[in-house]
Every structure is written in C-alpha cells, then in structure tokens.
C-alpha cells in the first residue's frame, strides 16, 4: 500500500492533494479537538488560493475568540501559500452539541476582511446553525450548496 513515511505524514486526515507532497517524517496523531493555533485545516470553497497545491498545508495562526479555541462560525487567520488570509470555520472534528453535525475534517472557508467569501461555491455540507450568523456571513451562506 502507501509507503510508510507517506502514510505517517498523512495521519489519516482527509487533506487535499497539497499535503500529499509533504514528506516529513514526524509522527502525527489525529486528535479530535477544536481549531486552535497551528491546526492544519482544509479549505472547502473553490477559490484559487485554497485549491492550488503548495508544499505546506494551510495552518491557523490566530483565532479571533476570547479563548484560543475556534468552533463553527468563528473567524481565524490562516497562513496559506506564504500569505495571511482570514477564514471562517464551517466544521470541525471535535464532537460538539447533540444534534449538531461533526465532520471528519476541519473545514474552513476563505473570507475577506469585510466577510465576503473569496470563492464562489462550497460543495461540502455546512451545518445549519451557521444560519444564525445571517447578518455577518450571509454571502457565505448564499454560496453554500447543501446544509446538514
């Protein structure tokens, strides 16, 4: 099957092809935690910045909450392709409330400073309780295809 060093760096995460080129030989554990600094995230919209392959996966470098923990609907600052970009969390691996969906990957949508999304479509299902943020992120909800 896959070569051992490749499988180790994959660590069972569902990442885009950008991270498949990563050949670091470090041990990673698939932790089911919320999003904080240095988490690798998956960009789920169809923006060029999120989908072009790069030798490093996009990482969170700051979470805009009182504690450093990011849940669904929080804004974060990502480091993608050597640049800083704001993003909105649309799903994480950490189990949350009952009846709320839990995703198999930490999903994030790239955003401008005023809250407008960078991409034009989100194929991945998005939790319905994001609709509460109708005022700020209504444009992000408008480009979402399916809700869970």
Partner 1 sequence: MSLAFSSASHHTAVRLRLGLLKTGAVHSSLTTLPTACCGGWPPPAGSTLPCMVSKSQRFLSTSPCLRAAGNDSESPKFVPPSKPVIVDKTQTVASLRKFLSPEFIPPRQRIDPLKFSIERKDMIRRRKVLNIPEFYVGSILAVIMADPNASGKSNRFVGICIQRGGKGLGATFVLRNIINNQGVEICYELYSPRIQKIEVLKLEKRLDDNLMYLRDALPEYSTVDPEMKPVPFSPTGEVTVNKIKVRMRPKPWSKRWERPKFNIQGIRFDLSLTPEQMEHAQKWAQPWLEYDMLKEYDTSKLEEQIIKEVQQEMSK
Instruction: Please state, in angstroms and rounded to a whole number, the distance separating the CA atoms of residues 133 and 140.
Output: 10
Could you say whether residue 101 binds partner 1 (CB under 8 A)? yes
Comparing CB distances to partner 1, the nearer of 25 and 114 is: 25
Instruction: Please state, in angstroms and rounded to a whole number, the distance separating the CA atoms of residues 21 and 54.
Output: 8
The 73-92 site mask, x for binding partner 1 (CB under 8 A), equals ------------------x-
Could you say whether residue 62 binds partner 1 (CB under 8 A)? no
Could you say whether residue 33 binds partner 1 (CB under 8 A)? no
Choosing from 25, 29, 67, 83, the residue that interacts with partner 1 (CB under 8 A) is 29
Phi, psi of 62 (to 5 degrees): -160, 145
Could you say whether residue 22 binds partner 1 (CB under 8 A)? no
C-alpha closest to that of 143 among 110, 99, 95, 114: 110
Could you say whether residue 103 binds partner 1 (CB under 8 A)? yes
Comparing CB distances to partner 1, the nearer of 7 and 48 is: 7
First to last CA, the chain: 34
Q: Which residue has the tokens 């930490």?
A: 106
Could you say whether residue 102 binds partner 1 (CB under 8 A)? yes
Could you say whether residue 142 binds partner 1 (CB under 8 A)? no
Indicate the DSSP class of residue 114.
T
Q: Which residue has the tokens 């869970």?
A: 148
Size of the site for partner 1 (CB under 8 A): 36
Instruction: Please state, in angstroms and rounded to a whole number, the distance separating the CA atoms of residues 130 and 108.
Output: 13
* Residue ranges in contact with partner 1 by CB under 8 A: 1-2, 7-8, 10-12, 14, 28-30, 32, 44, 91, 95, 98-105, 107, 123-125, 128-132, 145-148
């Amino acid at each position: 099957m896959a070569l051992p060093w490749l499988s180790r760096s994959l660590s069972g995460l569902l990442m885009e092809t950008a991270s498949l080129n990563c050949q670091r030989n470090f041990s990673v554990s698939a932790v089911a935690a919320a999003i904080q600094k240095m988490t690798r995230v998956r960009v789920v919209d169809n923006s060029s910045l999120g989908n072009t392959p790069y030798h490093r996966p996009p990482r969170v470098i700051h979470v805009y909450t009182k504690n450093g923990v990011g849940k669904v609907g929080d804004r974060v600052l990502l480091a993608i392709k050597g640049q800083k970009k704001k993003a909105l969390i649309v799903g994480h691996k950490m189990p949350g409330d009952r009846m709320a969906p839990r995703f198999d990957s930490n999903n994030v949508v790239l955003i401008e400073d005023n809250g407008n999304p960078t991409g034009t479509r989100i194929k991945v299902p998005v939790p319905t309780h994001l609709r509460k943020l109708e005022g700020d992120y209504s444009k992000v909800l408008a480009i979402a295809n399916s809700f869970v």
